[in-house]
Chains A and B, each alone.
Chain A
Amino acid sequence: MRPLRVFLSRWQNWLGLLIVFAFTVVSLAAPLLSQPNDTTWGAFKMVGRSTDFTPHPPSDVAPLGTLPRQIDVYHALVWGGRDAMIFGLSVALGALLFGSLFGAIAGYAGGAVNGVMMRVADAFLTFPALAGVVFLQQLVAVTIESLGGVSFNSYYHGPVADFQFTPPPFAVFLMKVDPILISLILFSWMPIARIVNTMVITLKQTDFIQAARAMGGGPLWVIRRHLLPNAIGPALVLASRDVGSSVILQATITFIGLGGASPWGILLSLGRNWVIGPGGNLLSAWWVFLPMTLAIIFFGVGWNLIGDGLAEALDPTATIFRRTQPHVND
Chain B
Amino acid sequence: MPPFLQFLIRRIFAMFVSLVVITMLLYAGVMLTPPEARARLYLPPGKGGERATEQYIQNIIDKNHLNDPYLVQYGYWAKSLLTGEWGYSPTLRADVLPALLHRTPATLELSIFSLLLLIPLGLANGLAAGWRPNGWFDGLFRGAAFFGTSMPPFIFSMVLISIFYVQLGWFAPFRMDITTDLLMTKIGFVDYTGFLTIDSLLNHRPDILLVALRHLAMPVLTLSMFHWATLGRVTRATVIGQRNKEYIIAARARGVNEKTLLWKHALRAILAPSLTSMALSAASLVTGIFVVEIIFGLTGVSQVIVISMQSSPDAPAALGFAVYSVLMVVGLMFILDVVQALLDPRVRDEVFKA
Q: Is B329 an interface residue (CB 8 A)?
A: yes
Which residues of the partner chain B approach A304 to less than 8 Å between Cβ atoms?
A: 149-150
Quick check: which of B70-78, B290-298, B337-345 contacts chain A, the rest being far away?
B290-298
B33 neighbours in A (Cβ, 8 Å): 139, 142-143, 146
Q: Once the chains bind, are A123 and B18 in contact (CB under 8 Å)?
A: yes
Q: In the complex, which residues of chain B have a beta carbon less than 8 angstroms from the beta carbon of A146?
A: 33-34, 36-37, 39-40
Interchain nearest-CB distance for B300 vs A (Å): 13
Interchain CB contact under 8 A, B284 and A128 = yes
The A116-168 residues at the B interface (CB cut-off 8 A) are: 119-120, 122-132, 134-139, 141-143, 145-147, 150-151, 159
Q: Nearest-CB distance from B158 to chain A (Å)?
A: 6
Tell me whether A229 is interfacial, beta carbon within 8 Å. Answer: no
Please choose the segment from A37-45, A86-94, A251-259 that sits at the chain B interface, where 4 or more of its residues have CB less than 8 A away: A251-259
Does B280 have its Cβ within 8 Å of any Cβ on chain A?
yes
**B309 with A128: CB separation less than 8 A:** no
Known: A142-B313, A159-B50, A257-B306. A128 touches B325 (CB 8 A): yes
Q: Specify which of A126, A138, A159, A300 is in contact with B152 (CB 8 Å cutoff).
A: A300
Contact among B152, B167, B328, B329 with A252 in the assembled complex (CB-CB below 8 Å): B152
- Measured between beta carbons, the chain B residues less than 8 angstroms from A268 are 154-155
Interface-facing stretch out of A57-65, A76-84, A321-329: A321-329
Dominant secondary structure of chain B at its interface with chain A:
helix
Is the beta-carbon distance between A252 and B315 smaller than 8 angstroms? no
Given the known inter-chain contacts A128-B287, A128-B325, please indicate yes or no for A138 contacting B49, CB distance below 8 A.
no
Q: How far is the CB of A254 from chain B (nearest CB, A)?
A: 10
Judge whether B21 and A119 touch: CB under 8 Å: yes
Chain A 304-326 interface 0/1 with B at a Cβ cutoff of 8 Å (1 = within): 10000000000000000111000
In the complex, the answer to whether A129 meets B244 with C-beta atoms within 8 Å is no
Check B308 against A126 for contact (C-beta < 8 Å): no
Chain B CB within 10 Å, residue with most, of A126, A129, A137, A259: A126
Q: For window 259-309 of chain A, which residues contact chain B by CB distance below 8 Å?
A: 259, 268, 272, 275-276, 280, 282, 289, 293, 296-297, 300-301, 304
Q: Are B166 and A127 in contact (CB under 8 A)?
A: no
The 0/1 profile, CB within 8 Å of A marked 1, for residues 149-169 of chain B is 111111100100011001100
Q: Closest approach, in angstroms, between the C-beta of B110 and any C-beta of chain A?
A: 15
At the interface, yes or no: A248 with Cβ under 8 Å from chain B? Answer: yes
Given A123-B21, A301-B150, the answer on whether A296 and B155 have CB atoms closer than 8 Å is: yes
Nearest chain A CB to B258 CB, angstrom units = 13
A137-B309, A282-B167 known; A327+B158 contact, CB < 8 A: no
Contact across chains for A143 and B326 when beta carbons are under 8 A apart: no
Q: Is A207 located at the chain interface by the 8 A CB criterion?
A: no
Segment of B1-9, B22-30, B117-125, B195-203 in the binding face: B22-30
Nearest CB in chain B: distance from A119 CB, A: 6
* B21 pairs with A127, CB closer than 8 A: no
| Contact of B249 with A by CB under 8 A | yes
A210 vs B274: C-alpha distance in the bound complex, in angstroms?
Answer: 35
Nearest CB to that of A327 among chain B residues? B244
Interface residues of B in 303-318 (CB under 8 A from A): 305-306, 308-309, 312-315, 317-318
Are the CB atoms of A252 and B322 closer together than 8 Å?
no
In the complex, what distance in Å separates the CA atom of A147 from the CA atom of B33? 10
State how many angstroms separate the Cβ of A319 from the closest Cβ of chain B.
10
Contact A323 B290 (CB under 8 A): no
Give the nearest-CB partner of A191 in chain B.
Answer: B280
Interface residues of B in 205-262 (CB under 8 A from A): 240, 244, 246, 249
The smallest beta-carbon distance between B132 and chain A, in angstroms, is 10
The CA-CA distance from A136 to B32 in the complex, in Å, is 11
Please determine whether A297 and B315 come into contact, CB atoms closer than 8 angstroms: no
Report which of B39, B284, B315 forms a contact with A139, defined as CB distance below 8 A. B315
The main secondary structure of chain A at its interface with chain B is: helix
Q: Select B322's contact among A132, A249, A257, beta carbons within 8 Å.
A: A132
**Known A123-B25, A251-B152: A139·B30 in contact at CB below 8 Å:** yes
Kindly identify which residue among A259, A280, A323 contacts B167, using a CB–CB cutoff of 8 Å.
A280
User: B residues within 8 A CB of A252?
Assistant: 152-154, 291
The answer to whether residues A321 and B21 also contact, given A127-B326, A131-B326, A141-B313 and a CB cut-off of 8 A, is: no
* B134 CB within 8 Å of chain A: yes
Asked if B319 lies at the interface with its beta carbon under 8 angstroms from chain A, I say yes
- Chain B hits for A275, CB < 8 A: 158, 162
- A141 contact set on B, CB distance < 8 A: 313
The reply to whether B287 and A129 form a contact with Cβ atoms under 8 Å apart is yes
User: Bound complex: CA of A107 vs CA of B228, how far in Å?
Assistant: 35
Question: Would you call B319 and A258 a contact (CB within 8 A)?
Answer: no
Point out the residue from A131, A328, A329 that lies within 8 Å of B325, measured CB to CB: A131
Which B residues touch A321, using CB under 8 A?
Answer: 133-134, 240
Neighbouring A residues of B246 by C-beta, 8 Å:
329
Please measure, in the bound complex, the distance between the C-alpha atom of A187 and the C-alpha atom of B29, giving whole angstroms: 14
Please name the residue on chain A nearest to B152 by beta carbon.
Answer: A248
Q: B321 contacts the other chain (Cβ, under 8 Å)? A: yes
Q: Which residue of B lies closest to A301 (CB)?
A: B150
Taken together as a complex, chains A and B put the C-alpha atoms of A137 and B282 apart, in Å, by 23
Which chain B residues border A119 with CB–CB below 8 Å? 17-18, 21
B residues in contact with A135, CB < 8 Å = 26, 29, 318-319, 321-322
Check: B330 CB closer than 8 A to any chain A CB.
yes
* CB closest residue in chain A, given B22: A123
Given A159-B50, A289-B158, decide whether A134 and B287 contact each other with a Cβ distance below 8 A: no
- Kindly list chain A residues whose C-beta atoms are within 8 Å of the C-beta of B25: 120, 123-124
Q: Taking A131-B322, A256-B306, A282-B167 as given, write out 17 further A-B residue pairs in contact, using a Cβ cutoff of 8 Å, ordered by the A residue number.
A: A120-B25, A123-B18, A123-B25, A125-B280, A126-B283, A130-B305, A134-B322, A139-B33, A139-B315, A142-B40, A146-B39, A151-B313, A159-B50, A248-B152, A282-B162, A296-B155, A329-B246
List the 3 shortest-distance A-B pairs measured between CB atoms, nearest first: A138-B318, A141-B313, A123-B21
Can you give 19 contacting A-B residue pairs, CB < 8 Å? A125-B283, A126-B18, A126-B282, A127-B22, A128-B290, A128-B325, A131-B305, A135-B321, A138-B309, A142-B315, A147-B36, A151-B313, A257-B309, A258-B306, A259-B309, A300-B150, A301-B150, A328-B244, A330-B244
